[in-house]
């Protein structure tokens, strides 16, 4: 953040303000961790704060502090629209284009509030009065930690805030294994533990709460795992019928794509998940090294994200989507060939 940004944020937070905080549609651990941490901090500063998620989020995140105070937009849009219209300041966290807020796009676009963006994804839009964007950061939660430092409130980090920030950093770095995890990230994590984050219980709450159906679905996904010979690529498919058969719930496929990447010699992995309700195929991409799945997702599948982790979607059928994916791979033979 620049000194000008820091000064402007402090001005915007003077007095008691009505503040709305928004994560992206389909919130993950980083989105919910960063927004909940900021909500707790700003409420401690006597602001009136409402966190509004565009839609529901996975059960494995619903142990987090204050999550029961989150409004879900698609459950009560009128109430949420009123909060957005009355807000003095709106924080958007872990996304950088208002379209990523789903059905909240229109009310956010029409809001009179001052916007503050905190995000680590590539190619940010310019809708915010203050934009704190850093694509080198491993997570928005780490950025919120530095945001709190920059505005001089690091002593206000409570055990609850530390817990939320640790959760987002841990989940967005694959438990600290991704390339974006730096020595600074580890120093931040150490400070969060010192400030009260219980790392053991956080990991247990995230990773040790699988349902029987979820593990059966994982088995199905691994049965469907395919390798594209000669192009160091693996992919998984899950049809709507397979999801239904295993009582799929939001968040159940979290991390499945990484199993493809765990195969020896694989540098590019994808998972294709059929969603009949939305009439799309949802896609997650992962890679190792310099192969940019962000560029790949943006170019071919209406998505984006980071160099080594991105998402996309397809309006084609599941099989047509997979066929399209396979047909594109030879274009990247120089990057993917053995």
Q: What's the N-to-C CA distance of the chain in angstroms?
A: 42
Q: Which residues pair with 159 in a beta bridge?
A: none
When the pLDDT of each residue in the chain is averaged and rounded to a whole number, the result is 96
Predicted pLDDT of residue 337: 82
Q: Is the pLDDT of residue 58 over 80?
A: yes
183-237 confidence digits (pLDDT tens) = 999 999 999 999 999 999 999 999 999 999 999 999 999 999 999 999 999 999 9
Architecture of domain 212-333: Roll (3.10)
Other Cβ atoms closer than 10 A to 10: 12
What was the pLDDT predicted at 264?
Answer: 95
Q: Check residue 125 and give its pLDDT.
A: 94
pLDDT of residue 306: 87
Distance CA 206, CA 208 (A): 6
CA–CA distances in Å: residue 11 to residues 5, 47, 226, 290: 10, 14, 54, 41
Residue 242 has pLDDT above 90, yes or no: yes
Task: Tell me, rounded to whole angstroms, the distance of Cα 116 from its chain centroid.
Answer: 18
pTM reported for the whole predicted model: 0.89
pLDDT for position 218: 97
How far lies 12's CA from each of 19, 50, 91, in Å?
10, 16, 11
Q: 8 pLDDT band (50/70/90 cuts)? A: very high
DSSP conformational letter for 255: T
* Rounded-to-integer distance, Cα 79 and Cα 240, Å: 32
Amino acid 178: pLDDT: 87
CATH of 3-207, one of 3.90.1640.10, 3.90.1150.10, 3.30.200.20, 1.10.10.10: 3.90.1640.10
Domain boundaries, the chain: 3-207, 212-333
Is the pLDDT reported for residue 338 higher than 80?
A: no
pLDDT category at 150 given cuts 50, 70, 90 is very high
pLDDT band at 115 (very low <50, low <70, confident <90, very high): very high
Above pLDDT 70, what percent of the chain? 100
DSSP H helices, the chain, are 3-12, 29-44, 77-86, 105-109, 140-150, 159-172, 183-194, 199-207, 212-223, 240-245, 257-261, 293-300, 318-328, 333-336
pLDDT digits (tens, 9 = 90+) for 156-190: 999 999 999 999 999 999 999 888 999 999 999 99
């Amino acid at each position: 953040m620049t000194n000008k940004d820091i000064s402007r944020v402090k001005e915007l937070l003077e007095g008691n303000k009505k503040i709305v905080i928004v994560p992206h549609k389909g919130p993950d651990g980083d989105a919910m961790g960063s927004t909940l941490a900021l909500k707790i901090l700003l409420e401690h500063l006597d602001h009136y704060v409402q966190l509004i998620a565009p839609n529901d989020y996975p059960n494995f995140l619903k142990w987090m502090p204050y999550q029961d105070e989150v409004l879900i937009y698609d459950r009560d849009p009128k109430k949420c629209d009123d909060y957005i219209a009355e807000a003095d300041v709106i924080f958007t966290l872990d996304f950088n284009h208002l379209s990523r807020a789903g059905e909240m796009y229109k009310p956010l676009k029409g809001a009179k509030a001052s916007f503050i963006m905190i995000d680590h994804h590539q190619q940010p839009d310019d809708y915010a009065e203050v934009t704190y964007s850093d694509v080198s950061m491993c997570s928005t939660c780490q950025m919120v930690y530095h945001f709190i430092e920059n505005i001089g409130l690091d002593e206000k980090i409570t055990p609850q805030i530390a817990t939320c920030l640790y959760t987002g950093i841990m989940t967005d770095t694959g438990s600290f294994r991704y390339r974006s995890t730096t020595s600074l990230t580890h120093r931040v994590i150490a400070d969060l533990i010192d400030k009260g984050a219980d790392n053991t219980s956080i990991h247990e709450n995230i990773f040790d709460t699988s349902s029987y159906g979820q593990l059966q679905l994982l088995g199905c996904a691994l049965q469907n795992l395919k390798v594209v010979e000669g192009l160091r690529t693996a992919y998984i498919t899950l049809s709507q019928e397979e999801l239904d058969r295993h009582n799929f719930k939001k968040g159940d496929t979290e991390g499945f794509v990484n199993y493809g990447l765990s195969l020896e010699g694989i540098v590019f992995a994808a998972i294709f998940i059929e969603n009949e309700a939305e009439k799309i195929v949802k896609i997650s991409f992962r890679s190792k090294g310099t192969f940019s799945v962000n560029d790949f997702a943006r170019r071919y599948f209406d998505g984006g994200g980071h160099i080594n982790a991105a998402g996309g979607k397809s309006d084609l059928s599941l099989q047509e989507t997979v066929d399209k994916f396979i047909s594109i791979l030879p274009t990247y033979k120089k990057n993917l060939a053995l």
